[in-house]
Structure 1
């Protein structure tokens, strides 16, 4: 689906809701609808907003720093600059466009910004409508081009992993490995890591989101690497856990159990099955083996322009999966004082099952 078609879908929804325009500020949503790739430094420092009227052409609103990039990337869209700030421009622009009702992304708007927007709209007799998830819902279903971009991201991520994996030796630190991963990503043309790489050894591998530290890698202890990168805008996410040297009997038992749970989840995935049912299929394997309380997070999550997006493979998500969704399947067992094992692959939901995007089999079937 082209950005033009995506815009038209948003406009049709606005007309059904009898809303004159929507202001898109969330950077992934902005990119999805316009092709404008600039990122935000944080939620308080934006590189622009997309104003989509229900019945007129959309506008990209930004400042001087991003003018050249915005005009290059959005040739079919008018770019307007706001030298005095976004709200100063909106104060002039909204009445000129005949807008009497405006929607905004409530989940990506700071409270003080929303208050100022409300004050401005009240003075202009414009009704303000908070919205949530309109564009995110569209993003959950990937088209063929998006799937191929994600496949390329996954492939590059695996190549980076293999390059670094072959160099890991006892005595290196978690930080050494994380830096090697992220520098290799950059050298291999990735835009950036899709999240800060997780490298955790020994007891620290029981921390699902451990931050790499100056801890040295030792033989025979679990070593977890959770990594991903962004390529052409699309994210990848993969976890491998292994040991240097011979693995203990306990390690092999838990590792094989986690892999069995992962396969059970993968085998359950197809269009029409609920996310909760997929989570349950994998969780049952771990629970039946007596480790249920040591698997405390959801089975997986959607991946696309953002590394964490809908749908969530969670016991609380009763929504059905649809063909074209891309999700991770990442069960884990985390034992305090010993360590943890998580294995993660990405799959595309299909009508009759799912397609595994990963080719890497490092320590999956041991």
Structure 2
């Protein structure tokens, strides 16, 4: 990854904002700019922050627990330890670096942390400047190396699905299947799932974000599996719905085909320059015209990268314009209380004149 190029791009943005530096605390943003892979599992505990000046060399500030990891992963940045805490280090470091206006990621910093920093920096004449979305906007367009990593994550995710699919039986519980999928992800090299795997059978599949239950899936009714994994830091996301016992009713077949037509309409609309709202509408109109508009209540898709949910958005409220190199999901669904739901999800790369489907396995899409 060309971290130096990314930092230089950010520094130009900081100079335009007329701030002296940015404190980067969000773990995905920190990794994007530095390659530091430590993950913050608890908002009360940070494994480190980046201090990116508007000019000059960036710094990674962390503590003893991450010293060796930082030295191995971030040799291109200066690394400083904070044995007495981050704020104490910043109090001495910022004046030495002539930083008077310090930007911070306002979407992620806790109010209590901001208040403590503000009080600590007041006597130093340092102003805290809230900034939002600067790095996230950079992350929306993937470079060739990122696309290759995401492509492999998708390929590996599909392999997990293919490996587990033949082992699914009607006597298994939703939890059994979710655990089998996540275990297989680990065996095939994933660091973790991209999100808590969704396995929802029968009426539970009418819940878009169902939590797997300790109940047998049975052989009738829809079975929805929404799964993704993280490989080399990059996420995948895929949803498949099918009938475990292969006893497909006409109602299921009709609804499945409507959802698939909606997905294809959305995919056909995607290209650089189109708005996320237009893509959403193309798919949503198919479902609405079929009489199921009230049963599709979520957005059509979202960006995927270091985070499984990131910009851009494909939704009725989206203000995003698609650019070549963006990667998004296309995941329409119909959810009928008391019956079940059907959702189909693929990931695509936006190109100048269309898009490329990253998912090669369409076995369970067309019936």
TM range (shorter): over 0.9
1:144 aligns with 2:162: no
Supply the distance in 2 between the matched residues of 1:123 and 1:356 (Cα, whole angstroms).
55
Supply the distance in 2 between the matched residues of 1:319 and 1:307 (Cα, whole angstroms).
17
Q: What aligned pairs does 1:251-330 form with structure 2 within 5 A after superposition?
A: 251-330=252-331
TM-score normalised by the chain length of structure 1: 0.99
> In the alignment, what sits opposite 1:218?
218
Supply the distance in 2 between the matched residues of 1:225 and 1:123 (Cα, whole angstroms).
55
SS of the residue 1:218 aligns to: coil
> In the alignment, what sits opposite 2:79?
79
CA distances 1:53-100 after superposition (whole Å, capped 9, x unpaired)? 112210000111110000100111111111111111111111111111
> In the alignment, what sits opposite 1:356?
357
> In the alignment, what sits opposite 1:129?
129
> Which contiguous aligned blocks of 4+ residues in structure 1 show a shift greater than 6 angstroms?
none
1:250 aligns with 2:251: yes
In structure 1, list runs of 5 or more residues that go unmatched.
Answer: none
Is this contact kept in 2: 1:154–1:358, CA < 8 A? Answer: yes
Is this contact kept in 1: 2:153–2:229, CA < 8 A? Answer: yes
Q: How many residues align?
A: 366
Supply the distance in 2 between the matched residues of 1:325 and 1:126 (Cα, whole angstroms).
37
Supply the distance in 2 between the matched residues of 1:224 and 1:91 (Cα, whole angstroms).
52
SS of the residue 1:351 aligns to: coil
> In the alignment, what sits opposite 2:9?
9
> In the alignment, what sits opposite 2:193?
193
CA distances 1:210-250 after superposition (whole Å, capped 9, x unpaired)? 11110101112100000000011110000000012211111
Is this contact kept in 2: 1:240–1:362, CA < 8 A? Answer: no
In structure 2, list runs of 5 or more residues that go unmatched.
Answer: none
Is this contact kept in 1: 2:313–2:320, CA < 8 A? Answer: no
Supply the distance in 1 between the matched residues of 2:322 and 2:205 (Cα, whole angstroms).
31
TM-score normalised by the chain length of structure 2: 0.99
Cα offset, 1:121, TM superposition: 2.1
CA RMSD of aligned residues (A): 0.8
Cα offset, 1:319, TM superposition: 2.6
> In the alignment, what sits opposite 1:54?
54
1:338 aligns with 2:339: yes
Cα offset, 1:116, TM superposition: 0.8
> In the alignment, what sits opposite 2:115?
115
Is this contact kept in 1: 2:20–2:102, CA < 8 A? Answer: yes
SS of the residue 2:255 aligns to: helix
